[in-house]
Amino acid sequence: MPSRGRPPRRRDDAFTALEDFVDLKLGHSNKDGIEVVDVEGEIDVYTAPRLRELLIELVNKKNYQLVVNMEKVEFLDSTGLGVLVGGLKRVRAHDGSLDLVCTQERILKIFRITGLTKVFGIYESVDQAIAARKAEK
């Protein structure tokens, strides 16, 4: 009887990514009084509304110090940037902050192109972001 398992896949097949589809995973936890949002996957016109909803929910629950960990983000477009800027706008209305953790050049590039490196605090680790925020207090 033939195997019903998937045939071996070549890593150079770009469509492998379609089958391994993880569009966007979101999580959050509190660390030293700062809400850390963990984002994994792709932030684009399809998935960005979910991140927007989470940020709004956190702000509505009076979390005004946010760190968005983007180390597992595979793709970010201008729609995602808009959501992050919107989140920053909301927390700043409460004298809060929204910092980013990102070391991936492919993601950092879009921040540079748009000039948003001047708007967001961008750190290499969550601990570094939290320490920097604490130091400002």
Partner 1 sequence: MATVEVTFPPLPAHVRTARLVATAVARRSGMDESLLDEVRLAVGEACSRAVEAHRRHCPSRPIRVALCDDGERFEVVVTDAAPADADVEPGTGDSASAESPAGRNGTASGAAAVAAPGGGAPLQLPAGVGLAVITGLADDVRISPAPDGTSVAMSWKRRSAIA
CB of 43 to partner 1, least distance (A): 11
Question: How far from each other are the two terminal CA atoms of the chain, in whole angstroms?
Answer: 67
Binding site for partner 1 (CB under 8 A): 12-15, 17-18, 23, 42, 44-46, 48-49, 52, 75, 77-79, 81-83, 85-86, 88-90, 92, 106, 109-110, 113-116, 118-119
Residue 31 or 92 with smaller CB distance to partner 1: 92
Considering beta carbons, is residue 6 or 95 the nearer one to partner 1? 95
Q: Do 55 and 90 form a contact (C-beta atoms < 8 A)?
A: yes
CB of 69 to partner 1, least distance (A): 21
Smallest distance from the beta carbon of 3 to partner 1, in angstroms?
A: 27
Task: Quickly list H helices, 24-96.
Answer: 48-60, 78-92
Query: Reduced to 3 states, what is the DSSP secondary structure of residue 4?
Result: coil
Nearer to partner 1, 21 or 62 (CB): 21
Tokens 């399809």 label which residue?
46
Q: In what order do the strands lie in the sheet with 34-43?
A: 24-31, 34-43, 65-76, 97-101, 121-123
